[in-house]
Structure 1
Amino acid sequence: MRREIRHLAHSVEDSIVSKVNELSSALLDTSNNIHCLNSKIQAYRQEQNAAVEVLKENVDVCLRHISSREATTPLQLTSARDSPTNPWRMVRDKEATILELERKNDHLRAKHESVQEKLKEKSEELLNSSRLLSEKSQEASLLQDSLAVAERRLAESQREVERTALRLRHAEEDSEKQTTRMKNEIARLERELLNERERHSSSLLGLQQELKQVHLESSSWQERYMREKQKTSQLSEEVSQSRTQRLRFEKVDSARSEEDTDNLEKGNSVVSPELEDMKTKYDALKKELTQLKRKVAQNGSAQDFSAVASPEEFSRLILEKRDIEEVCLSFDRKFQKQTQVLKRLDQMLKESEAKV
């Protein structure tokens, strides 16, 4: 940019100098032409005045000669008028000469006016060129000022670049130091990680074995649960049958109430040992569940199993545990409902016996 500004300033200066030289040469030519024309006009005016004076003298001489000759000699009309010494012919020649001189004078006056107009135009052009020269000089000064400002800015930017390069070198050195420290730290952490893996490999194998044992116990518990569920469904069917029998007993006549009461006691006596058996099995199952929960608590929390097992297997175990707990709760509710139904049946049986 600095080179372009200098080139532009030099080109402007060269154009201004060439224009001034052209205008000065044209002005010198114009002034020389004006001086020549003025000298020619003055010489012509002097010649014209001298010719007029001579012509006046000749006219006076001719008039005096004519007056004296007419007084002495008679007038010859034909031959004397054509002779070169005829005063009238001399007067006509002088008049023609005067007219020719006047035409030349008019031509020279018109030429002088045109030269003056051209001189005015050249002077106006010179004024315009001087004005343009002043404007160009102002522009050149402004360009020089802007060039100086640009040079200062360039120097400042160069200093800023040097400072930035210095900061960049310092930052690179700091980053290299930090990189070496981080590499050393990573190597140390890798060594610690290998040591921790070797240290916990034995405990990991033990936890995996315990996890397999828990899986086996949970599968066996699920099988027991399915068997107990089937027995519970059978018991619920028997309870529903006893309920239908109770409804049927209520609708019969009072005459057959004793026989129905005996049948109900027999059915109750049949159901009650099965109910006791179911209750004992449920208590045993509940006890096994508590033992299983205690064993799981001793082996570790859910986070320990998650560290040992895979995520899919751990989620599956959590879902199985949740399902088992829900089934146990539902089994508790069903067992409570069945006990309540049996209590109501016993009470109704007692009421029917009292009525009988």
Structure 2
Amino acid sequence: MLLSLTELHLSRCSLSAGVIPSLHHQSVVNFTSLAVIDLSFNNINSNILDWILNVSSLVHVDMSDNRLHGRIPLGISELPNLKYLDLSLNDNRIHGKLPASIRNMTSLVHVGLYHNNISGRIPRIYRCFIWTITYSKAPFLTGTVSEAHFSNLTKLEELDISSNSLTLNVSSKWVPPCKLHSLEMGSCMLGPSFPAWLQTQTDLTVLDIPNASISVSIPHWFWDLSSNLILLNISFNKLEGEIPPSIGNMSSLELLNLSRNNLTGNIPSTIGNCSNLIVVDLRQNLLFVLMPESVGHLKQLQSLHLSDNKLMGELPLSSQNCTELETLDLGNNNFSGEIPSWIGELLALLRILRLRSNSFSGRIPSHLSNLSILYWILPTTV
């Protein structure tokens, strides 16, 4: 018999529902000192395991990526030492409301409930020192998130409440009590104005707020928000105005997604300062004029999506420097001139090429046949 087991790591072991409780009931293992249990990435398809509520020593519980179902038990708040709780990725099987008693779990620093059917309102957290909250893709969460929900979350670093039906209701002068590193609030009602409180979040590395009902121009201060920003996604809004030259200040960006908005003007040449970019998605806007030569400075670029704009002119020769490109999507614009032969000669990794509905002339270059791993080619009629 294991008399004082403190950590149990059985991730990715193809476990079914009854293995752990059977060990417990058969006195094979003494769980009274257990602090860490990781059963993630298994096939446990039972109700949420009520037996863990009797293990008051637990500090870390990871039951993510199983097939758990049922409600989160009310007794979860009776685990006084619990710091980390992850019940995410359970195929939307965990349902019901979050127990209001979760507000009393003063040791909690991480809550993960991603990809479940949690419903109702988010309870206010009064005394927890949470670092990470993940409630995303729980489509039945409703109601309003107010300043009161954040008042005691002074150590919060990561917040993900995306893909819900939540409305953020805070004053224009509100200053969050925390400094976030990652903020994901896609499909939450943040607009119509651009959230002024974002000015205070200068440590962000991830800002993901698509489909947030924002319908104004991006404010000038935004482009100096955080020099550490790696991922920026403000797609599926109704953003207006032009992309300013100050976008070049975000030199750490690896993913830029401003697609499906109403942005106008040209693509600033200063985008070439963002030399770490891997993905650029500006499709379905109202951008026009020329594609800048500075695109050639983006030598790490793997995906470039510029379709469904009003871009014109020839493809800049400097684009041949983007030799890591796997996707080049320029469809439904006004590009003209011949299709460059360097696409087939130098872009050896290209897998998707979309050129249809432009004004290209001449012949389709024979060098395109060099692209042996190309999935599909949709050139315009030339």
Structure with more helix by fraction: 1
Tell me if TM exceeds 0.5: no
Q: TM-score normalized by structure 2?
A: 0.17
> Highest relative contact order (Cα 8 Å, sep 6+), 1 or 2?
1
Select the structure of larger CA radius of gyration. 1
